[in-house]
Chain A
Amino acid sequence: MLELKNLGKVFNEGTVNENRAINNINIKVEQGEFITIIGSNGAGKSTLFNLISGSYGPSEGTVFLRGDDVTNQPEHIRARHIGRIYQNTMLGTASNMTLEDNMMICSRKGFKGLKISLNRSRREFFREKLKELDMGLENRLKDNVGLFSGGQRQALTLLMMVLSEPDLVLLDEHTAALDPKNADLVLGLTVKFIKDFNLTSMMITHNMDHAIKYGSRLLMMDRGEVILDVKGEEKKNLTIPELVERFHIIRKRDFANDEALLSD
């Protein structure tokens, strides 16, 4: 599905601010895998997502998506296969537009023509899908999305992303900006959708508990490198103390000092 070869990214190359964010990453993501990614602030998690989605190009290395070399493909072309959700709940929707307009825009990926697709049967379809969220949104099709709460917006973004049938899902701490109750709700929906639609997904999280509990494979990143990659039975039996211990062995640094990694 996705393959990263010798991927590297250096910011401000050749200046005093030179900063290597990603260093020689090689990963192969198989169809149907659900990968959780942990790592402290500045480990390069979001940069990795930006390289995969094409927000910026790598300094070296290659990105293969569905077997094609997409390293130099612009972001909007690649986006036809990728569904990405950000931490900022404002980024997934247009807040000055109505719920139904938002859902219509996100219904189908690719160039939009001069067809009026938003009709009664489409609205009925949207209403049906919104009912699955169980947030009462099915009665608010004509309301601007800006009026919704962060949790509602993120759940909606998730639903729209799933309906557009992406080949690869990138979740960039998409529950981190929500209150605990809504975070649980959105995470629950995420796991349900990923399972129901058998979506190939990568999820960045700060919560080690979630990283262990969910998904079929776990990546730990530090200073631009993937330092741990576990899957299958080995992942199922992981515990937080064990993760911390393994970090210590690999990096000869103390994991506990890294407050960003402490789970709640």
Chain B
Amino acid sequence: MIGLIGKLGGVNLLPVAVMLVGLVLIGAPSSWVTLTVAGLAMGMMVFLMASGLSLVFGLMDVLNFGHSAFVSFGAFVAASVLAGLSGWLSAPSVLLNVAALALALIAALAFGLAAGLFFERVIIKPVYKDHLRQILITMGALIVSEQIILALWGGTPITVHRPAFLEGAWIIGDVSIEIYRGFAFALGLIVFAALYVMLNRTRLGLLIRAGVENREMVEALGFRIDRLFVGVFMLGSALAALGGAMWAGYQTLITPALGGEMMIVVFIVVIIGGLGSIEGTLLGALMVGLISNYVGFLAPKLALASNMILMMAILMWRPSGLRPAVK
């Protein structure tokens, strides 16, 4: 039986198993479909936020508790761009709708890249190989970033406008699927596919995978892993900002505390998935997304605890996470 499960995909089947258990417990297929789509969409957005953190930790042993600052800034930068282009968002032209959304996402990505470069050079580089200082300094950076957001955007929750073409829902029978959730899932899938191809089909990806396993040996082969790390850090920051931008559209109301709130979820996903593994991060994110939505429906009082319980259960079963990069 275990051999058969292994041949079918092993731990890759866990999200499917969670969905099946959810179907049994929820009972009503229409509610289950709605919750499942919401869970998958949430999972994909959390995957965007977490994938960079996983690579950064795997490649350089850097514990960046400030990672979710990029999520916050991505959300606020995108919200500001969307607010500035509100005329385009509500225009009947889908082209203008798409342009507004694309500009907002590009702005978040560009901010993430630039902020990632600054963060790595100024905050991370001086504390390489010192986990305690990394934790203290990056947590400090997260708090400072929240205060900067508070100073720039104020403490009042900001409403995020969605483009008209992503408003509403697809109605199939008695099942309702929010269009935005479908879009978020599709975008996450595209980013995962692009990351997968980059990591598994390019020389750059080969270097990253090798660096995650044995940084020292990659350097002994003649490659400057510290320079590679800057690029990975910037990519991870940009993806986190993109995830934040998508999350802003999903929630439609954001506050400066967004980064701190998401930090816990992002770390849970990275730990569940296994450090340094994109596939593991996706698995962890999907499971967190699905379980959050199912538990939120079945036992709302347990919703906050569900992710923590999931992480504890996974770690008791697999101490290194579901699919850790080989160390």
Is the pairing of A and B real?
Answer: no
**A residues with CB within 8 A of B:** none
**B residues with CB within 8 A of A:** none
